[in-house]
Amino acid sequence: MSDDNPHSTNGSARKTWATKLLQLFTGEPNSRAELVDLIQDAEERDLIDNDTKEMIEGVLDVAELKVRDIMVPRSQMVTIDINQSVESFLPIVIDSQHSRYPVVSENKDHIEGILLAKDLLAYGFGMTDQEFALADVIRPAVIVPESKRVDVLLKEFRSQRYHMAIVVDEYGGVSGLVTIEDILEEIVGEIEDETDYNEDNKADIRRINKSRYSVKALTTIEDFNDYFNTTFGDEEYDTIGGMVAHGFGHLPEVGEELTLGSILFKITGADKRRIQQLQVTITDTNNAADAD
């Protein structure tokens, strides 16, 4: 008897694919290559779309990664010293716009805890009469080894409800940090929010206080000169980041500083390829424009 159901062929195909996928997960064929072929075949048959395929492949990749493969390296960690005053570290929070900061003493090998930016709100808006002390606000830091599997760490992030871990090497020295977002981006791709860098965002220069500013590295030298009433040349470099990198003579790391004229440049965001964000301090306010 013929099947008059127009959906039977498609339904049968879906059932067959689902059955094959279940067999692979239950170990009947246990080759990763076979599973990848199955996923590719499912996309070609329009059983899953490309985004779903890439997400499944991302899950498979995460299962083979170690924390050292995805961590933010030590040189790019934005930290706060436990002895810093609010006036001293608040510009760092405003400029970097992270939600969590490792708090250190002496150096990055001495982690005292984690500061959540939201924990500062009560002190800033008069919701408590308690005198602020950074040591009283920070939360315990979670320490994980470089060799820890990423999929295992993701389970711990979810079950224990923390979002950042400090990564240490075999000798106990801090080698970086990792967040739950770092892991999720390995699965679903880059996650951007309203504070992430966006070339369409016109707020290339933001004022932090009277003499300090946050400046995107891709700000053109012409725009920088117009804003700060400076006269940096743009014959060799188009962007302020390119000019600053040339001034260093190497690709600088987060925290490095360089003075050019009456401007102190501090690197607050960088990766292995380029400078991303700068903190600009006017050291001679008499020569700076009123940039309100």
74-111 residue pLDDT tens: 888 899 999 988 888 888 888 888 899 999 998 899 99
* Helix/strand/coil (H/E/C) assignment for every residue in the chain: CCCCCCCHHHHHHHHHHHHHHHHHHCCCCCCHHHHHHHHHHHHHCCCCCHHHHHHHHHHHHHCCCEHHHHCEEHHHCCCEECCCCHHHHHHHHHHHCCCEEEEEECEEEEEEEEEEHHHHHHHHCCCCCCCCCHHHHCECCCEEECCCEHHHHHHHHHHHCCCEEEEECCCCCEEEEEEHHHHHHHHHCCCCCCCCCCCCCCCCEEECCCCEEEEECCCEHHHHHHHHCCCCCCCCCCEHHHHHHHHHCCCCCCCCEEEECCEEEEEEEECCCCEEEEEEEECCHHHCCCCC
pLDDT tens across 31-49, in order? 667 767 777 777 777 777 7
pTM (predicted TM-score):
0.55
* pLDDT given at position 85: 86
In the chain (292 residues long), the average pLDDT of successive 10-residue segments reads 49 55 49 70 73 72 83 88 88 85 92 92 61 87 94 91 93 93 78 48 69 88 91 87 91 89 89 85 59 38
